[in-house]
Homo-oligomer: A and B are copies of this chain.
């Protein structure tokens, strides 16, 4: 039934330790099937090396189990909120990667200090508000989702595919589960670069808007010229070359 969806989630979860994004079980990925309104997600607390495609849990958009023997990730309801809110995304990744967590714990957004950042998004990496006590005690994982959605208000979730939850850590998403993990790895890289930049020059300014847009548009949109046109063509988007193609290549 959900063979393909489970495999996509399974393979994307294996990218978490491979990319060094989490120790032990400190991260999870889900893959979404919009047509059926369900997603496959990592079972809670199971080490990556014990995962199998069949161990993925199928959950609906209320966070209820549709298929699977295990308990889904404790962050499942946060994933569900994001799938409801961000139409068109196909995967979500959450981890406790080192430098993204450091910025989360410092409660600071990450400025656009360079072109590595601008290659992926034109905005600072947003950080949510710390959650208030009432929300924490209401339905914590749902509220985490609400915080993310609230902070994204006014931004396009297809352009800003990553966020830092204050005091906690990163959530990223994308058209596929693989791209969600790719975005987590990129966020970690950007977070470390920004950390080092500020240490060398505490008053380092963000780069100028023209440079941000130039780099972003090299990789995204109708005029993009990064990557192989043939790959874009395979997706029926001539002239547009998205990073996910590259990431697919990593599988």
Binding site for B on A (CB under 8 A): 23-26, 43-47, 49-50, 70-71, 74, 96, 98-99, 101-108, 113-116, 130-131, 133, 136-137, 140, 167-169, 182, 185-186, 189, 192-201, 204, 207-208, 210-211, 214, 218, 225-231, 241, 243, 245-247, 249-250
Contacts and interface: CB of A to CB of B under 8 A. Distances in A.
A227 B71 contact: yes
A22 to B, nearest CB: 10
21 contacts: A23-B186, A24-B182, A24-B250, A44-B225, A45-B227, A46-B249, A47-B250, A74-B226, A101-B114, A102-B199, A102-B200, A105-B194, A105-B204, A106-B204, A107-B201, A131-B211, A136-B210, A140-B218, A195-B199, A195-B200, A199-B199
Nearest to A194: B105
A249 B116 contact: no
Contacts of A246: 24-25, 45-47
Given A113-B167, A114-B168, A136-B210, 16 more contacts: A23-B185, A26-B116, A45-B227, A46-B228, A70-B228, A71-B227, A96-B189, A98-B192, A102-B196, A102-B199, A105-B204, A106-B197, A108-B200, A195-B196, A195-B200, A198-B200
Contacts of A46: 228, 246, 249
